[in-house]
Amino acid sequence: MKYYIIAGEASGDLHGSNLMKALQKQDVNAEFRFWGGDLMQSVGGTLVTHYKDRSFMGFAEVILNLRKILGLISFCKTDIKSYQPDVIIFIDNSGFNLRIAKWAKEHNYKTHYYISPQVWASRAGRVEKIKRDIDAMYVILPFEKEFYARYNYDVHFVGHPLIDAISDRTQVDDKVFRTAYNLSDKPIIALLPGSRKQEITKMLGVMLSLVNDFKDYQFVIAGAPSQEFDFYKSFIKQDNVSFISNKTYDLLSVSHAALVTSGTATLETALFKVPQVVCYKANSISYQIAKRIITLKFISLVNLIMDREVVTELIQGDLNKKRLKKELEQILDENRRVQMFIDYYDLEKKLGGKGASNNAAKLIFESCK
């Protein structure tokens, strides 16, 4: 069968690549055309556009780039008509994907969605549009199935793909890793400032402001594959700061603690059992808009899944040097760390076992063949 897959951001690329591998196991004749990134491209098929060319953060940035976004939507529709896929698979990226899904359903394409838009966070009214435009939804968070059931929409909980992505990786040797990247033998504090330029600009400076207060630790920036080192270099003013690009999982596997920008990375950090402080600061206009439409008690996936505060969230004005220093000191304390490890193990149980990509691929193939 011919699969047209639309994913955005690094996480979408990761989950898309694993789904493609799983689909190949189900369908020996699988052909792929996709919007994604390097990981999806490594599986095979045709990459239409790279996610780094359409990465916009927040309401203000979307408005400023509206002409480009509308052009991409138009091009996507034309490309789908040309390719004539057997099924279109949407991965997260709701702002773009739901617009394509409406058009696709009107033109009688099969529409499947892997990794639900976060309609449980804001604008729940979108559920009615999803019910209208999406033939099948595959969710990866345990509370999402219950959420959709309240709207009489039956979705498939397939488990979380990060369980597979993390458990299937090759174990990293701490000493070998440190030698390869010329790191000291001090405990590592990983800095995960996000993948978009806008969020890195907002977060990284505050994170790095702590370096001179924690000289017994080695700070290491996890560079996103979509950004060059020259961009990060302008933020690094201190010694004892290292930079490693596109090796976030390896870095987390040897880290003692982490400062993490809100997003998928908070869950990844938890699954690696690394104590963390969650950070978030947006454009002031985007933040004021978001604050009025988002109805959640928490912003991090860790706390949302557990439905209580497991990790501290420093949002907007609370993300400053004084607060961040205090919270970092707390997760370096042994008692706090032990409790966080216990919570992390409970979190992993809630996410179910391995096999999310295979579960989703089997359901997609069986319903479309």
Q: Count CB-CB contacts under 10 A for residue 337.
A: 17
Residue-level pLDDT at 284: 59
Write the burial class of residue 338 (CB in 10 Å: 0-12 exposed, 13-18 middle, 19+ buried): exposed
Residue-level pLDDT at 292: 46
**DSSP reduced 3-state for 61:** helix
How far apart CA 264 and CA 268 sit, in angstroms, is 6
Report which of residues 64 and 328 the model is more confident about: 328
How far apart CA 258 and CA 220 sit, in angstroms, is 9
**248 pLDDT exceeds 90?**
yes
Report which of residues 103 and 51 the model is more confident about: 103
The DSSP code for 210 is T
**261 pLDDT exceeds 80?**
yes
How far apart CA 309 and CA 305 sit, in angstroms, is 10
Residue-level pLDDT at 54: 65
For residue 62, what are the β-bridge partners?
none
**366 pLDDT exceeds 70?**
yes
Residue-level pLDDT at 294: 56
**283 pLDDT exceeds 80?**
no
pLDDT in tens, 12-30: 898 999 999 999 999 999 9
Per the CB < 8 A criterion, the answer to whether 46 and 33 are in contact is yes
**289 pLDDT exceeds 60?**
no
Q: Count CB-CB contacts under 10 A for residue 101.
A: 25
pLDDT in tens, 41-66: 999 999 999 987 766 555 555 565 66
pLDDT mean over 238-263? 93
Phi, psi of 141 (to 5 degrees): -115, 135
For all residues of the chain together, what is the average pLDDT? 90
Record the pTM: 0.79
Per the CB < 8 A criterion, the answer to whether 31 and 20 are in contact is no
Q: Cα–Cα distances in Å, from 152 out to 97, 131, 148, 353?
A: 22, 9, 7, 26
**236 pLDDT exceeds 70?**
yes
In the chain the domains, ranked by start, together with CATH numbers, are 2-160+353-368 (3.40.50.2000), 167-350 (3.40.50.2000)
pLDDT in tens, 297-327: 788 999 999 999 999 999 988 999 999 999 9
